[in-house]
């Protein structure tokens, strides 16, 4: 298992190169001309989002490398937190890029996603859990009126 975690560490180090390169491209763009101009607010927003993606992927890589050398339960929790952070930052970045290109489609997608989530939460939420069996029956179900 440790070798698989080390392979994951190498993979996330590789994946961190992409948002790192995008941070550099927002600072020094190779594109020139009037078609390449973006508003300053968009450049700052995308630079921050790409930087947070880079940090999250680098944190995943570092936490997995640490787990390879020292296997602990705290290391597992650190990997879990880093993976959640990477998922949140990557998802947020992709959604904001989508919203910058097509704001109405992004709002419609968000509304449909919220409706689906709410419907599933209402239908399969905590109140939909099956009732636990009575512990006094010792796993035998109902006794059909017969004394135990």
Q: Where are the domains of the chain?
A: 2-102
| Cβ proximity of 20 and 61 under 8 Å | no
Whether 40 has a pLDDT exceeding 90, the answer reads no
Tokens of 29: 């763009």
Q: What is the pTM of this model?
A: 0.72
**Cα–Cα distance for residue pair 53/26, rounded to 1 Å:** 14
Q: pLDDT over 90 for what percent of the chain?
A: 55
Measured torsion, CA atoms of residues 139, 142, 146, 148, in degrees rounded to the nearest 10: 20
**Residue 130 in this model has a pLDDT that exceeds 70:** no
pLDDT 10s digits, 44-74: 898 899 999 999 999 999 999 999 999 889 9
């Amino acid at each position: 298992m440790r070798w698989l975690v080390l392979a994951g560490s190498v993979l996330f180090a590789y994946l961190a190169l992409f948002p790192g390169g995008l941070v550099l491209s927002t600072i020094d763009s190779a594109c020139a001309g009037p078609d390449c101009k973006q508003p300053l607010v968009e450049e700052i927003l995308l630079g921050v989002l790409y930087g947070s993606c880079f940090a999250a992927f680098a944190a995943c890589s570092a936490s997995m490398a640490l787990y390879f050398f020292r296997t602990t339960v705290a290391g597992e929790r650190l990997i879990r937190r880093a993976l959640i952070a990477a998922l949140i930052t990557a998802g947020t970045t992709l959604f904001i890029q989508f919203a910058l290109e097509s704001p109405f489609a992004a709002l419609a997608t968000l509304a449909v996603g919220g409706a689906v989530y709410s419907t599933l939460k209402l239908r399969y939420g905590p109140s939909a859990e099956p009732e636990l069996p009575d512990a006094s029956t010792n796993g035998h179900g109902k006794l059909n009126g017969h004394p135990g």
